[in-house]
Amino acid sequence: METTLRGVGVSHGVAIGEVRHMGTAVLEPPAKQIPAEEAEREQQRARQAVEAVAADLTARGNLAGGEAQAVLEAQALMAQDPELMADVDRRIAVGSSAERAVYDAFAAYRELLANAGEYLAGRVADLDDVRNRIVARLLGVPMPGVPDSDEPYVLVARDLAPADTALLDPTLVLGFVTEEGGPTSHSAILARALGVPAVVALPGAGEIAEGTLIAVDGSSGEIFVNPTEERRTALEAAAAERKAALAAATGPGATADGHKVPLLANIGGPADVAAAVEAGAEGVGLFRTEFLFLDDSKAAPSEEKQVEAYRQVLEAFPEGRVVVRVLDAGADKPLDFLTPADEPNPALGVRGLRTLLDHPDVLRTQLTALAKAADGLPVHLEVMAPMVADQADAKAFADACREAGLRAKYGAMVEIPSAALRARSVLREVEFLSLGTNDLAQYTFAADRQVGAVSRLQDPWQPALLDLVALSAEAARAEGKSCGVCGEAASDPLLACVLTGLGVTSLSMGAASIPYVRASLAKFTLAQCERAAAAARAADSADEARNAAQAVLSGE
């Protein structure tokens, strides 16, 4: 009998196939005492396992490229965290085996953060995955992971670590479903990059029996267990209709009445450029530059290395717009040479622009490298600062751009509610705004974007978040400047129409989402988008906002 479950849809498309479960977690190692004379040998074993896991994660990142590479390199740094390794050494010194010491050290770190109510900079799924990989290597057992199958399947797991998601084979993995995670988790972002339908935050997903036929709707978040023939036919027909609509929608982003909404791509480095160009991106709305700095957590990359990487991206979009975000270090992207190791709450501490203003030489080198990379190219370069809180932050960044001789537009990311509330004063110092809706939701609702238990508060349809978007867009219009969205909210085709109705002037997203958003915008006029936006803001919950917008656009 068919049953329906609902989670959070995070990657568009429909997948119909049999369930295959992710391998079970590594078993807890036995708590056995070792003789004192073996301590040094065990410490060496632990260090070797950690280095091997870090090397493996880095290699996986190199294979995956793009956004996945930055995520996996951050995980590799996590594995080598000096405080964790010091704790492992201490535990071994008092009699723990290497594997038990690793297991207990990671557990203590995880519990400490959770009990303190701090931002989990290590990301829960990522932290557990690193621990499991190290323990598995020490025990000499295979690392549980994506199942081995010759036939296509739907992958079901408690959560997916980036190391697993990054290397999924989309010809075998039709889609995936997880019990945990949220719409802006690493797995969700990478799923969209892969173009794999995905649903997260589905309670009880692990209870679906192996081999059960399910249908996954990555747009609605619905899971149909043992779908009827009629259901399968309807879903397949809807998928075919969507595919035809995607093929029919070409060219620049625009509403049905010709209101232009440039559709840009979020990229993590040169490896993401080809997919963006193929999807018809009109430029880059978010070029994350962290990938360069994660190669070596001990020192910043040279100016020459930065120039080379930036130029590869800029050359791919002649006459196009490329918006570069300067280094966003701190919180979940710690760098030994920049970020403090002992902050009680890194997400609310020295992060983003605050870090760069504390290290003006790093900022100056990056801005100089961007200026040299753009020299002689017809590209429209724009540079923005992350985590801008107020006018003083915006002025400090604008001054740094001018001092570096950067001939580009410079702007501010709106990720902190204060920047949205005082957007007009921020815009007196910079030339554009870009809304990072992932962090803006996190800070607005005090809801960690990696924690599935608070996923309803990470929903970009939350009316309070739409209010902050509207405030920012209205301020930009009043100042005669632009206001784009580069957070994951832009990748939702229906929400893209609402954002357009709120006055947003451009939308940037993962390349795989661009055709969906282009097709959706082309179906509605600007007036329809504005009515849908007003209806969404008048609602009292995310679900009500989504339903209200859908009702307006469907003519109900």
* Active-site option among 401, 483, 486, 529: 486
Quote the CA–CA distance of 495 and 490 in Å, as a whole number. Answer: 7
Distance from C-alpha of 377 to C-alpha of 109, rounded to nearest angstrom? 48
Query: Please, what's the b/e burial string for 465-492 (b: 16 or more CB within 10 A of its CB; e: otherwise)?
Result: bbebbbbbbebbeebebbbbbbbbbbbb
CB 221 within 8 A of CB 199: yes
State how beta strands 173-178 and 153-157 pair: parallel
Q: Are 509 and 538 in contact (CB under 8 A)?
A: no
Contact 449, 411 (CB under 8 A): no
Which pair of structure tokens corresponds to residue 287? 């070029």
3-class state of residue 327 by DSSP: coil
Token readout for 294 is 């994660």
Read off φ and ψ for residue 192, nearest 5 degrees.
-65, -40
* CB contact set of 211 (below 8 Å; sequence gap of 6+): 18, 19
Give me the phi and psi of 492, to 5 degrees please: -85, 115
Catalytic pick among 12, 186, 401, 529: 186
CB 145 within 8 A of CB 112: no
Per the structure block, which two tokens stand in for 102?
């690793």
Q: How far apart are CA 441 and CA 266, in angstroms?
A: 18
Residues 469 and 480 sit within 8 Å (Cβ to Cβ): no
Alpha-carbon gap, residue 42 to 116, rounded angstroms: 31
**486 is an active site residue:** yes
Tokens describing residue 401 = 């751009």
The token duo for 431 is 């030339």
- Specify whether the CB–CB gap between 181 and 124 falls below 8 A: no
What are the helix and strand counts (H, E) for the chain? 23, 16
Based on the residue annotation, tell me whether 380 is a catalytic residue of this protein.
Answer: no
Cβ neighbourhood burial of 142 (10 Å; 0-12, 13-18, 19+):
exposed
Asked if residues 421 and 473 have their Cβ atoms less than 8 Å apart, the reply is: no
CB contact at 8 A, 263 and 286 = no
Using only C-alpha atoms, the chain has a radius of gyration, in whole angstroms, of 23
Full DSSP string of 389-408: -SHHHHHHHHHHHHHTT--S
The residues that are catalytic are: 186, 486
